[in-house]
Amino acid sequence: MKKNLNDQRQVILKLLAEKAVMKQNVFANTINIFEQIRDSSQNVVNELASEIRGVDSRVTLGFKEFNQQSFQLKVAGDMLQFDMHTNVFEFEKSHPVYKSSYVKKNELNSFCGIISVYNFLADSFKYNRINDVGFLIARIFVNREKKFFIETKTPLNSKYSNYSDEPISAENVADIINELIIFSISFDLFIPPYDAVKHVSVMEIQEKASSAVLKTGKRLGYIGHGSGDGSETNFEDETNL
């Protein structure tokens, strides 16, 4: 029994020394990268705001930090929400990441922190339209060596779909932010099909003045909850990750 307990203790210590330490490194790297993204985002918005002010003062940009793991960028009619998860994740074995020689060499390289980026309409927050929806447009994965890749269906996919050869750099961060802003501005609000909005309840009309009932999203246009045809969840695949 004593030997078995000693063996168990050694297994625990080995796991703590390898896996627990690795996760601490991943978490620290993810925080560091998130802070770089936050600071770079604020700089980009400030520079763009200064330049566009001379073109048209109605076009506004802004930055708002909520806490260490969350901030928003307002770019004209769009809102980009950046969120960092506080946990460390491993991919399922069927994920393409396990086909890379980098992960095959050491599976600890597959463990990642996650930074998610969502695209909302700025008016959803301005008018407190709590039923409005946003789209996940990118997930940035950071590992123990500060190497990264991105899951996205934006143009960033062609650049960063596999683990980077080198740790993420300030140039990478600026490139990612710029591309996400470009994608969000280019990703327009569509008018919904007539049949998707032809039904609306009395309650929805009465409460419409509160701007909180009719659901709006870039691929919804706007629809009433009472349409009854399921169209409110008919998102386009290329943007609903």
Break the chain into its structural domains and give their ranges: 2-186, 194-233
Residue 234 has pLDDT above 50, yes or no: no
pLDDT at 132: 84
Residue 36 has pLDDT above 60, yes or no: yes
Altogether, the residues listed in the chain come to a count of 241
**Tokens at 185, concatenated:** 């501005």
Residue 177 has pLDDT above 60, yes or no: yes
What's the distance, CA 164 to chain centroid? 19
Residue 112 DSSP code: B
Start-end of H helices in the chain: 2-15, 21-52, 101-105, 122-126, 157-160, 170-186, 202-207
C-alpha to C-alpha distance for 34 and 30, rounded to whole angstroms: 6
If we measure between CA atoms, which residue out of 31, 42, 44, 78 comes closest to residue 59? 78
pLDDT digits (tens, 9 = 90+) for 15-24: 898 999 999 9
If we measure between CA atoms, which residue out of 115, 240, 126, 127 comes closest to residue 187? 240
Banded pLDDT at 211 (limits 50, 70, 90): low
pLDDT at 223: 45
The one-letter amino acid code at 145 reads E
Banded pLDDT at 239 (limits 50, 70, 90): very low
225 vs 84, more confident: 84
If we measure between CA atoms, which residue out of 115, 157, 162 comes closest to residue 140? 115
Our CA angle for 160, 162, 168, nearest 5°, is 60
C-alpha to C-alpha distance for 192 and 103, rounded to whole angstroms: 44
173 vs 132, more confident: 173
- In this prediction, residues 141-157 reach a mean pLDDT of 95
Model confidence, pTM: 0.82
